[in-house]
Amino acid sequence: MKICIAQVKPVPGDIRQNIQIHKKYADLAVSFGADAIFFPELSLTGYEPTLARELALNLEDKRLAVFQKVGDANHITIGIGAPTRHRNGICISMIIFQPNQKRRLYSKQYLHQDEELYFISGNKSPLLVIGDQKIALGICYEISIPAHCKAAYENGANIYLASVAKSQAGIDTAVQRLSQIADQYSMSVLMANCIGMADGQECAGKSSAWNDRGILLAQLDESREGILMLNTQTQMISEII
């Protein structure tokens, strides 16, 4: 399987423009034969907690139909970060478009203390199955919670996909932590981070991929958009800027 992570620079609060950015990189992934592409935390709105209630989407938002069309036509799974509206509040979620299937949702279960004013926790931890690969999703702060990655392993995941919005202050710790997860649980690990401003801080990029021994295979820089593509069979990486 060929799985991509996208490093993008969301326009804060501009869903329409961010849809175009996501479509550009989904199309690029298609052109390189990818089976899946995943974007950073809250990539569709930018990581802007104070705007989340205003910007929150319903799962079936018609503006996102373009991604289902891309997925259906090209047999690619697309995972997009967005605030989603629920009965009791707003979740930090990944909306998942799989070919010829209903949209799925993974909502962040473990919130940082700063997020609890704006968001509620999700309560499900589904695995994505693509071909012979089982992918567990983690959103930013969750990678620091031992129970989260342990549950991924116990559920049979062989890939751990981290969707984050990390600033310079947090990126080195995240990189070290994800390497440890890969080594401890013998899972390939990928991290999709943003660049540009988010909640008053500059995101640090450095989207990365590790093999199942925790060895860093490739890392994007801290200032440019692009994608990394991991071939899970060969453990080879393609870097596409």
| Domain edges within the chain | 2-240
| pLDDT of res. 229 | 97
> What is the Cα–Cα distance from 148 to 185, expressed in whole angstroms?
12
Q: Rounded distance, CA 110 to CA 232, Å?
A: 28
What pLDDT sits at residue 239?
Answer: 80
For domain 2-240, which CATH number applies: 3.40.50.620, 3.40.50.10420, 3.40.1640.10, 3.60.110.10? 3.60.110.10
Quote the CA–CA distance of 114 and 72 in Å, as a whole number: 38
CA distance 96 to 79: 4
Rounded alpha-carbon distances, angstroms, from residue 234 to 76, 112, 153, 174, 187? 19, 36, 22, 25, 14
Res 241: pLDDT: 75
**Three-state secondary-structure class, residue 137:** strand
DSSP count for the chain of H helices, then E strands: 5, 15
Mean pLDDT by 10 residues, the chain (241 residues): 97 98 97 97 98 97 98 98 97 98 96 97 88 96 96 96 97 98 98 97 98 97 96 90 75
